[in-house]
Amino acid sequence: MNLKEIMANVFHCNVEDIDNSAKINEVSGWDSLNHVVLIMRLNSEGHDIPAHMIAELTSYEAIADYIGEE
Amino acid sequence: VKNEGPTAGAVHSTEMDYAHWTALHERADGIFVADCWKHCGSYCCKTNHAQQDFSLMKCGSAGMVFPGQEYAFLKENDLLQDGFEATARHWNYVIDADRGLSIKFVTAHCDLGGICSNAKWRPLICKFYPLYPKVVAEGGAIESYTFGSIIDQYWDELGVEHPCWLYRNHGDDIDKTIRRTLPEVLSHPYLIFYLGAANIFVDHVARSSQGKELALIFSDPRQFFRAWEVSYLTGQLIDQEALRGELVAHYDAIVAHHGPFEL
């Protein structure tokens, strides 16, 4: 799955709801708790996002840039 | 869920009826001091204090927590505030797997900013704010309080005045009102448990915060809140084993007076 598909899966929304400008608390299901779930999910899929970055990666673009996904 | 209690005897249902919920909500309305929001910009409904520099937790709204039965009652009677159902998340927190004990609660976001869509039936956590009572295990009296919001624990340590005008100016009056009007309707074992569980949880998190490196940055409120929210949301402020132990002990203390009951 690509990042948008993972996010939609975690947030229980449609992939189409995650556009490139998507941000936390502006997308249905992307709240603070699900944000932490998303980071854990990405780490379980081989990424290595440290705790101190959790509060920085609050947009689709920031996360995609960090994990190197276009 | 049928729980095996620590003592012999049938586990009795704890479902509260419409009359009990109505009495509880009507009496809890008496805590409210009209127009208090004019003094604080609706702080409790908006989480809008300038020092709360949250990155993840939503500002401009409030997080709701309901005992499972309270949420179910409001939902079944079409009494929920606008937006609660869309954001509701149902939790089942196991505190003793061997005995089948788990806490059922619901969280939701409130984006109404202080303008309730159904004020009479706003959640009990809102009606109790800025305090949150704990009832003695046997019922009939208030034992203590914790703060009505988990993020209100730290104002003293941060050297910042509590944002709630009610708390600052009418804390004693609120305490007296609660003690005078609520113990009877709060003395149901189900409510005794959930009120106490919330107190235990908040106190647990507060103690954990003070025992970690977070205490080192109490001098900078904005930095503190940013660090606190990540620690809190990632579970670093919760010792699961210790918390479960405290909650089971709380349950057992109530059972000793009321007999085994469903959570």
pLDDT in tens, B193-239: 999 999 999 999 999 887 777 776 778 889 899 899 999 999 999 99
Q: Is the peptide bond before B221 cis (omega within 30 degrees of 0)?
A: no
Across the interface, do B230 and A58 touch by the CB < 8 Å criterion?
no
**Per the structure block, which two tokens stand in for B152?**
């209100």
**Location of structure tokens 């085994």:** B260
Across the interface, do A32 and B226 touch by the CB < 8 Å criterion?
no
* Predicted pLDDT at B170: 92
Q: Is the CB of residue A19 less than 8 Å away from at least one CB of chain B?
A: no
* Distance separating alpha carbons of residues B11 and B164, to the nearest angstrom: 41
Q: Which residues of A touch B87 (CB under 8 A)?
A: 31
* Predicted pLDDT at B10: 62
Q: Is the CB of residue A56 less than 8 Å away from at least one CB of chain B?
A: yes
Res. B6: pLDDT tops 50: no
**How much of chain B exceeds pLDDT 70, in percent?**
95
Across the interface, do A31 and B109 touch by the CB < 8 Å criterion?
yes
* Predicted pLDDT at B72: 96
The residues pairing with B88 across neighbouring beta strands, listed in sequence order, are none
**Location of structure tokens 């624990």:** B153
pLDDT in tens, B15-61: 888 999 999 999 998 787 778 989 999 999 998 899 988 999 988 89
* Distance separating alpha carbons of residues B71 and B73, to the nearest angstrom: 5
* Predicted pLDDT at B213: 72
The stretch B59-65 carries a mean pLDDT of: 91
**Location of structure tokens 């109530």:** B254
* Distance separating alpha carbons of residues B116 and B122, to the nearest angstrom: 7
On the CB side of B190, CA atoms within 13 Å amount to 19
* Predicted pLDDT at B1: 38
For residues B251, B253, B256, B260, the Cα torsion angle rounded to the nearest 10 degrees is 0
Q: Please report, as a single letter, which amino acid is at residue B128.
A: F
Q: Which residues of B touch A36 (CB under 8 A)?
A: 56, 233-234
Note the ipTM here.
0.87
* Distance separating alpha carbons of residues A8 and A12, to the nearest angstrom: 6
* Distance separating alpha carbons of residues A63 and A42, to the nearest angstrom: 10
**Per the structure block, which two tokens stand in for A63?**
């996360």
DSSP state for residue B81 in the 8-state scheme: P
Structural contact between residues B204 and B83, judged by C-beta atoms closer than 8 angstroms: no
* Distance separating alpha carbons of residues B144 and B133, to the nearest angstrom: 6
Q: Is the CB of residue B242 less than 8 Å away from at least one CB of chain A?
A: no
Q: What is the mean pLDDT of chain B?
A: 90
At B103, give phi and psi (nearest 5°): -95, 130
**Interhelix angle for B221-233 vs B189-211, to 10°?**
120
Q: Which residues of A touch B226 (CB under 8 A)?
A: 55
